[in-house]
Structure 1
Amino acid sequence: MPPCTSIFCEVLDARENGGLEEVHAVHKDTIYDRRDESTYDVFPLSKLEQIVLDNSTYMQCKVYVKDIRSVDESLLNNGVVDIALIDAPGLNSDTTKTTAIFARQEEIDVVVFVVSAANHFTQSAKEFIWAAAAEKAYIFMVVNGFDMIRDKERCQKLILEQVYGLSPRTFKESSELVHFVSSNAIPMGHAPPGGPGGSGSGSSSGGGGDEPSNDPKGKGKEKEKLEDFQALEQSLRRFVLEKRARSKLTPAKTYLMNILNDVHVLATVNAEVAQHEIDRVTKDLEEIEPQLESSKKAKSEVGDQIDQTIESTCKEIYEHARNTLNSAITHAGDTTLGVPYPGLFGVFDFADDLKEAMLNEISTAVTDCEEHARSRTVGGVNAIKQLGILHLGNEYHDLSFRSDVMFRRRRDALAKEIDLPTEIWDLVDWSTLMQRQEKVAGTGMALTLATAIGGRLVGGSSWVDHALSAAKIVGNDNLRKLVVPTIVLAVVSAAAYVLQQVPQSLPHRLSAKLSAQLESMDYVHANSTRIASSVRKVLRFPADNLRVGLTRSVEQLGSRRDETLKTRTESEVALKYFSNLVRNSAHQRTLVADVDLDAHPQAGVA
């Protein structure tokens, strides 16, 4: 067949064309239909070389030829299956088209690769054979121009070594699949009766129908060349027809082995990845679960500790404020609190100033309680902050706290609420006077007793005698006249004494009235509760912030644990699946590899 550039030539049995030997040249961009003559042009076989060389008009040729040999010798007319020989462009001419033809795996029984004995395998040929060997287990190798090689054994050895590296299975059966031939020994016309070795004359390459030389050595070489081609054709025929199971099923077996190998590799890799993922998440769980338990425990313990801190702080502040205010109210009337006494005529102004001083003293006590509560609040906030840093670390978000904004209120609120009028009876504190009289009386009695006892010890009852003597001298009438002046003098003296005791009596009276009124208002409890409640409210902010942080930490750890458990479950399912896939793919690969394509069908089934 003439050299082919970019035209595909498909050689078919002439019986498919009604027994006619001809060439159907298909136009470019046309789909060939043998029953539609508009899709092709008909030429005789003698025009084939011209059509192929002028490849600008046609894209492919359908060549119908007759093989007059018997069905036992012919490849096309084999009596078993219809066979077509496709002559694709060379790799150096059009690799893309050649590869596209080769991609029709289901239609190709065998690839016949022709290589020059002088040039061996080019890089493009190696790449093509390497790709073909991955799909086709066996490739026919035809080494042409072998008669031009001087050291044939060395050439044959080198080519077989290259075949071994490109297609080991082909090398294993190289006696059937690798053929060294010379194309110049093939006659271009029909062989004479009796075949190449018959009595008739045959054509040889370059002979043009001339008789071969009478040299027996030359005649023997030509015969060997023809026998090499006959061996090639018979090997091809045996492979396609007699070993059809191998020719058709070997690609399928190779394909299945490749698929199973890929599945096995992918399953193995995925199983390893799943196992690594299980190991990783198991290690993560070993770290997360103790942290989660510790976080839950810390949340409970810190919550209780915060509550105890707040309650103890508020209780202490309440008790301190209550004691401080009770003491301030109780002792408010002990002194005049630095208020000067202007005299009897300014006694009511003195009472108002004294009342204001008492209220200021109580307000100062309230302020002191607030300052104490403020300092205790700062300590409580810092204690809560330390707990947050201890249990949350960098995740704890500290809140800004300003103690100076606590207890903002008007200072004259108490003065407006208290209505404490001064009455005339407030100027006299009978309880104080009685206490003073008891003290004076007690002292006078003690002196009298001491004098009496001393006088008796000294002079017996002489003082009684002197008293009786004085009464006798004055007389009863004079004694009666002295009674009234004595009483008036006593009343005046008592009034003067009471007025003199106003600076001491008035504070006690006002303090008693103020205490009674404050007690009716529940002043001490209300202010103590107010201060403690303010502290409790302030401490609740960092406490709630810490609780939220602890809760968020528990939730985040719980979410991480759930995600990790989910990942571990998915990884375990994946590991189980891919492990089964590894085992099944290995088993299926073994079964496919054990299939003997050369065995008899019955034996294969058995």
Structure 2
Amino acid sequence: MQSGVYKDVDKGLAACENTCTASFSPHEDMARPGWGEEASRVYESTKERLLTTIGGTKSLLSDVQNFNSSAWMMHYPGLDVGAASTQQQSNSLHRTVSFDDTSQPGVNQSVVANPNEIQVLKLDLKLGSSSAHPSALVNSLEKSSIATLLDSRLSKSSQHLDALSTRIKDTSSKVLVTGDLNSGKSTFVNAILRRNVMPSNQLPTTTLFCEVHPVEEHPEKIEQVHLIKSVKDSYSPTDSSTFKPHSLEDLEVLCEENETNPNPPLLKVYLNDPRAAHNSLLSNGTVSISLIDAPGLNLDTLSTTALFARQEEIDVVVFVLSAENRLTLSAKEFLVQASHEKACVFCVVNGWDRISERNKEKCKKGVLDQLKSISNETWVDREELVHFVDSTAVEVDQDADNASRFARLEDSLRNFVLFNRQKSKLAPAARFLTHLLSDVNLLSKANVKVADEELEMAKKELIRVKPILDMMRKKRESLQDELERIENEAVETLGKYTKNEIEIALNEIANGRLASDKVSMPIYEGILSIYPYARAVKHALLQSLDLTVHDIENHVRDVTGQQVRHVQSIGNDALPEGVDRVKRVFVKEAMFKSRSKVNTSTVGIKLSQKAHNLDISPREIFNTTQFLIFKKVEDSKVDEEQEESSILGALSLAVGAITMVGGKTMGMRGFVEGAVRISNLWGSDRVRQWAAPAVGVLVFGAATYYIYELPRMIPKTIGTSIKKSLESSAEPSLSIDSTSDNYNEVHQVRVERETRKVLRLASWDVKEKFRATLETHAAECQRAEQGEAKAKKAIEWFDSVCMKVEGLRKLGGLGESR
């Protein structure tokens, strides 16, 4: 929604003033003792319309505040400094909409606002100031701070509307006389009253608000001073408990006593003006008038602040300045603040006679130039509103020219206050409403523009994020299944590989062979070194088994590393572009490193390095089962009749027995039958004769064979013992936990557990990264959807505010201020 181009400031104010002045001329009514019936009717009609508009505007401000605090943090139209400098060099008004949103990246801030656009709702911490660049403060604040400041301005504007409503309903008129220190305010009031009532001196004397009322408003119609403890206290002239009475003579003393009072009281002065009604401003017979003599603007901060607050209750401001001095900073701030509501300020340049004739034109030009820069409307009507007089000479009437100028001042002030109440009483309210509604309209259009841009950004964000989010949600289940499949397959494959390799290694050891070619068998040095040889053989066999386990671990590391990279590749492929990938590096050396002392002693790791595992038992050296391997032979009978050949038979039997034993061809049955036959032969004398030599030959042969076979049999014996011990939990000869499974299964479980741990950690990294990315995109999508809904709601709501503003303008007969 784009901003429209408003009318020029003067045209807008002209529409307002034409409504308020209605259809009569104040100068024509001066000849009449009172208002005309038509003027009175128009005044009442305009007053009712303004009161209704004030109520509607207050309700609108309340809605804006609620929306600002609950639904939309309002943006404030800002100012581009470079553009402002260019505009200040040109008198043309350039009306567009801009906004301050320094905390929202990506928002276009190319549009520019004229520095005079925001008037009532201008954000500036410096009270009453009109900074050269009003966005300088706004740009330095956060959006929340801007919204808070704006809410405060809206609250103050709503309070001011209450004051305007009260002022419009009040049939009396209040005239505030203010100005800088020692500008002659009290002297001017005395001159208007034609009485020395207000204390006046070269030093600042008026430190309180002195409100002068006609004596007719006093219940007893007597001249008196009522002291009210505080400006905020309630007051009624008929209730003596609300004030403390004093005489007029006590007025100067009261001012002196409360000069340093941090909470000064309010003085109500009831005064009699014996002049005719057509000559008196106070007792004019038409409208109830009160004159308020205020403290100097730059007296102190407290008085200045109080005066700023009190001017909201005032119908007419009479600003008194010294001809010898220029406007102070406090005076400029007050005039700027007052001009936001009151188009015209009545100005009195006091002490004019003290300026030499040569410097009067220069002084007059300087004063008018300052007023023009502050209140252009006052400068336009300067003939009626700006007067150069000397109030001190009025009472003694020493200067006829000054008396004439003061008389013209009084006529102009009477016309402005009494007969032109449309302009003095209603026009300020209409002007304030015009500026306020225009500010609200501008804020609404600026926020519509911001909402349009945020809506567009939200739509672009949804176009970007929504497809990615949908894709990731579809991949979530399949990714998890794929990671589990890779983990299970790798664990199963490596577990089977480990089991198979351990079985092969144990079989090799059981056959007396080394399980690894990286180890060599010890050298047999003879029967005398049989025990060290057996110990060395056992160490070599266990060492080869340890090396086999080490080779298995290396293989498992390599395969697991490949699977980890595969898992990461699958996870990274599932992530959208622009997202950091999984960067965890797999350190294969760390695998199988977390071994406690208990663990290494119970799972058969590094068996060769444990001294007690190298102990040799006798049966591992002298194991006769290795020699009792027989061969089954056919049944045969010995011919008892061939007794002559018994000797040869016995010898041949002995030799045959040795041969059978050495050749491993005798079976157990044949051995028993042979024993029976030998026992039968033992009854023969010849057999008994040859028995001793035969037995000796047999024993010698067996012993020789045993010694010869020891180097070959010991590795088999020890290998068989190692295998049996590792495969059976009932064999405690090696350091294997007797409560666990056998050696093969222990290593299989260990490899599977370690592999699963590594792959599960890699899968967790991938799934966690995927989950975090999914949640991030889901949150971005949710924010974009909420932003889209919020922007649509804001556009609709601010459009309705613009429509309400137009309706209130028509209701109050108001024009546009720009």
How would you bin the TM-score normalised by the shorter chain?
0.5 to 0.7
Deviation (angstroms), 1:104? 3.0
The answer as to 2:792 corresponding to 1:576 is yes
The answer as to 2:413 corresponding to 1:206 is no
Aligned to 1:234: 415
Q: 1:377 to 1:17 in 2, by over 3 A?
A: same
Deviation sequence 1:215-271 (CA, Å, 0-9, x none): xxx6xx744542342123212223436764324443454455556656766x46974
Aligned to 1:89: 295
Report the secondary structure of 2:316's partner residue. coil
- Say whether the 8 Å CA contact 2:387–2:409 is kept in structure 1: yes
Aligned to 1:123: 329
- Mapped to 2, the partners of 1:552 and 1:520 lie a distance apart of 46
Instruction: Give, as a single letter, the amino acid of the residue that structure 2 aligns with 1:167.
Output: S
Aligned to 2:269: 63
- Mapped to 2, the partners of 1:276 and 1:89 lie a distance apart of 55
Report the secondary structure of 1:537's partner residue. helix
Instruction: Give, as a single letter, the amino acid of the residue that structure 2 aligns with 1:492.
Output: A
Deviation sequence 1:135-170 (CA, Å, 0-9, x none): 444422333455656676665554443223212344
Aligned to 1:376: 555
- Say whether the 8 Å CA contact 2:727–2:742 is kept in structure 1: yes
Deviation (angstroms), 1:42? 1.6
- Mapped to 2, the partners of 1:227 and 1:55 lie a distance apart of 36
Deviation (angstroms), 1:26? 2.9
The answer as to 2:373 corresponding to 1:165 is yes
Deviation (angstroms), 1:384? 5.7
The answer as to 2:383 corresponding to 1:182 is no
- Say whether the 8 Å CA contact 1:137–1:169 is kept in structure 2: yes
Instruction: Give, as a single letter, the amino acid of the residue that structure 1 aligns with 2:302.
Output: T
- Say whether the 8 Å CA contact 1:250–1:597 is kept in structure 2: no
- Say whether the 8 Å CA contact 1:27–1:39 is kept in structure 2: yes
**1:550-565 alignment runs, 5 A limit:** 550-565=766-781
Instruction: Give, as a single letter, the amino acid of the residue that structure 1 aligns with 2:218.
Output: N
Q: 1:354 to 1:322 in 2, by over 3 A?
A: same
- Mapped to 1, the partners of 2:465 and 2:206 lie a distance apart of 68
Report the secondary structure of 1:530's partner residue. helix
Aligned to 1:103: 309
- Mapped to 2, the partners of 1:162 and 1:425 lie a distance apart of 130
Of 599, 605, 609 in structure 2, the residue corresponding to residue 408 of structure 1 is: 605
**1:162-561 alignment runs, 5 A limit:** 162-174=370-382, 178-184=385-391, 188=395, 205-206=397-398, 222-223=403-404, 225-240=406-421, 244-258=425-439, 267=447, 271=451, 278=458, 285=465, 289=469, 301-329=482-510, 366-380=545-559, 382-383=561-562, 393-394=582-583, 400-403=590-593, 405=595, 407-408=604-605, 427=627, 429-431=629-631, 484=646, 487-501=649-663, 526-561=742-777
Which moves more between the two structures, 588-597 or 300-309?
588-597
Deviation (angstroms), 1:60? 5.0
Deviation (angstroms), 1:578? 3.8
Identity in percent = 19
The answer as to 2:212 corresponding to 1:22 is no
Unaligned runs of 5+ in 1: 189-203, 213-217, 435-478, 600-606
- Mapped to 1, the partners of 2:246 and 2:369 lie a distance apart of 46
The answer as to 2:212 corresponding to 1:11 is yes
Q: TM-score, structure 1 length as denominator?
A: 0.65
Aligned to 1:39: 244
- Mapped to 1, the partners of 2:621 and 2:428 lie a distance apart of 129
Aligned to 1:471: none
- Mapped to 1, the partners of 2:774 and 2:278 lie a distance apart of 81
- Mapped to 2, the partners of 1:80 and 1:94 lie a distance apart of 37
Report the secondary structure of 1:549's partner residue. helix
Report the secondary structure of 1:206's partner residue. coil
- Mapped to 2, the partners of 1:353 and 1:395 lie a distance apart of 51
Q: TM-score, structure 2 length as denominator?
A: 0.50
More helix by share: 1
Deviation sequence 1:461-486 (CA, Å, 0-9, x none): xxxxxxxxxxxxxxxxxx98975555
- Say whether the 8 Å CA contact 1:329–1:515 is kept in structure 2: yes
- Mapped to 2, the partners of 1:302 and 1:388 lie a distance apart of 7
- Say whether the 8 Å CA contact 1:143–1:179 is kept in structure 2: yes
Q: 1:71 to 1:168 in 2, by over 3 A?
A: same
What is the Cα-based RMSD across aligned positions, in Å?
5.6
Deviation (angstroms), 1:48? 6.0
Deviation (angstroms), 1:7? 3.2
Instruction: Give, as a single letter, the amino acid of the residue that structure 1 aligns with 2:345.
Output: I
Report the secondary structure of 1:534's partner residue. helix
Unaligned runs of 5+ in 2: 1-189, 191-197, 515-520, 573-580, 635-640, 664-704, 730-740
Deviation (angstroms), 1:88? 0.5
- Say whether the 8 Å CA contact 2:538–2:718 is kept in structure 1: no
Instruction: Give, as a single letter, the amino acid of the residue that structure 2 aligns with 1:551.
Output: K
Instruction: Give, as a single letter, the amino acid of the residue that structure 2 aligns with 1:541.
Output: K
Report the secondary structure of 2:347's partner residue. strand
Instruction: Give, as a single letter, the amino acid of the residue that structure 1 aligns with 2:303.
Output: K
Instruction: Give, as a single letter, the amino acid of the residue that structure 2 aligns with 1:498.
Output: M
- Mapped to 2, the partners of 1:546 and 1:518 lie a distance apart of 37
Deviation (angstroms), 1:370? 1.8
Which moves more between the two structures, 423-432 or 484-493?
423-432
- Mapped to 2, the partners of 1:598 and 1:545 lie a distance apart of 73
- Say whether the 8 Å CA contact 2:336–2:375 is kept in structure 1: yes
Instruction: Give, as a single letter, the amino acid of the residue that structure 1 aligns with 2:546.
Output: T
- Mapped to 2, the partners of 1:99 and 1:357 lie a distance apart of 106
Larger Rg: 1
Q: 1:26 to 1:155 in 2, by over 3 A?
A: same
Deviation (angstroms), 1:23? 3.8
Deviation (angstroms), 1:103? 0.8
- Mapped to 2, the partners of 1:288 and 1:313 lie a distance apart of 37
Q: 1:289 to 1:307 in 2, by over 3 A?
A: same
Deviation (angstroms), 1:583? 3.2
The answer as to 2:337 corresponding to 1:139 is no
- Mapped to 2, the partners of 1:136 and 1:397 lie a distance apart of 79
Deviation (angstroms), 1:368? 4.3
- Mapped to 2, the partners of 1:257 and 1:245 lie a distance apart of 18
Deviation (angstroms), 1:494? 1.2
- Mapped to 1, the partners of 2:807 and 2:364 lie a distance apart of 36
Deviation (angstroms), 1:558? 3.2
Instruction: Give, as a single letter, the amino acid of the residue that structure 1 aligns with 2:489.
Output: Q
Aligned to 2:783: 567
Instruction: Give, as a single letter, the amino acid of the residue that structure 2 aligns with 1:82.
Output: S
- Say whether the 8 Å CA contact 1:388–1:546 is kept in structure 2: yes
Instruction: Give, as a single letter, the amino acid of the residue that structure 1 aligns with 2:657.
Output: A
- Mapped to 1, the partners of 2:391 and 2:721 lie a distance apart of 142
Instruction: Give, as a single letter, the amino acid of the residue that structure 2 aligns with 1:142.
Output: V
Aligned residues: 517
Deviation (angstroms), 1:409? 7.0
